Amino acid sequence: MRLDRFIGHQEGLGRKAVREALAQGRVTVRGELVRDGLFEVTEFCRVTLDDIVLQDRPALYFMLHKPAGYLSATSDPNYRTVMELIEKQGDEQLHIGGRLDLDTTGLLLLTNDGNWSRRITEPNLKTPKVYRVETEDPITPEYQELFARGVHLLPENLTTQPAQLELLSERSARLTIYEGRYRQVKRMFYRFKNKVLALHRESMGEIKLDPALAVGEYRPLTAEEIALV
Ligand code: URA
């Protein structure tokens, strides 16, 4: 939002009063004096007027090594949720950037920054998501061909983006997909009536699950990781 509108809304000031406050150098954003009313402030910029803090919310970003048996949801009457694994962050509400099924393990990203998480999950942006898959039956080169062409999913009536499958052993593979449709990986394998027995997300875009994180552990993302999205 524009800085002049932000101050007007927050303080109930008219346009003239806002212009004056800016011109007189009474406004700071992220600790810097700003006189330009067109300056864009995000929900996480610290903004002051006459040394009074108008906004000061932290932007939070975490990676969790999700265990099986935890639901990717903020609350649920029947299951434990991944939020129970993360310490409460004051008044900040975290949400999940790309859910995993109850039995899926691996990289889960949590944040209170909706713009950031949308950049990972928005299908049109084609962020690669890498999964290690173990299956009930052998995986054949036919799978590679079909996944590379795209799998038609009912009932959405859409074809998945070309995906890459790397065979690791007779019954395990690494799959890179570019969207995150509901149960997409399991449904892709089920096209061959092959059941996924274990599914683990290794990375989303450039962010990789930290091998130092034991199952159920989490840590804040580094500034470099946040900037990768
Ligand atoms: N695809 C699935 O089928 N399940 C997941 O948890 C993630 C991707």
Dump pLDDT digits (tens) for 67-79: 999 999 999 999 9
Buried b (16+ CB within 10 A) or exposed e, 130-155: bbbbbbeeebeeebbebbeeebebee
Ligand 1 pocket check for 188: Cβ under 6 Å = no
Q: Which residues pair with 66 in a beta bridge?
A: 106
The CB of 210 under 6 Å from ligand 1? The reply is no
**pTM score, whole prediction:** 0.90
Q: What is the pLDDT of residues 71-114, one digit of tens each?
A: 999 999 999 999 999 999 998 999 999 999 999 999 999 999 99
Q: How far is the CA of 74 from the centre of ligand 1 (A)?
A: 18
Contacts of 23 (CB under 8 A, 6+ apart): 35
Q: Is the pLDDT of residue 16 over 90?
A: yes
Give the model's pLDDT for residue 139: 98
Q: What is the pLDDT of residues 150-201, one digit of tens each?
A: 999 988 999 999 999 999 999 999 999 999 999 999 999 999 999 999 999 9
The model's confidence at residue 123, banded by pLDDT at 50, 70 and 90, is confident
Neighbours of 124 (CB within 10 A): 7
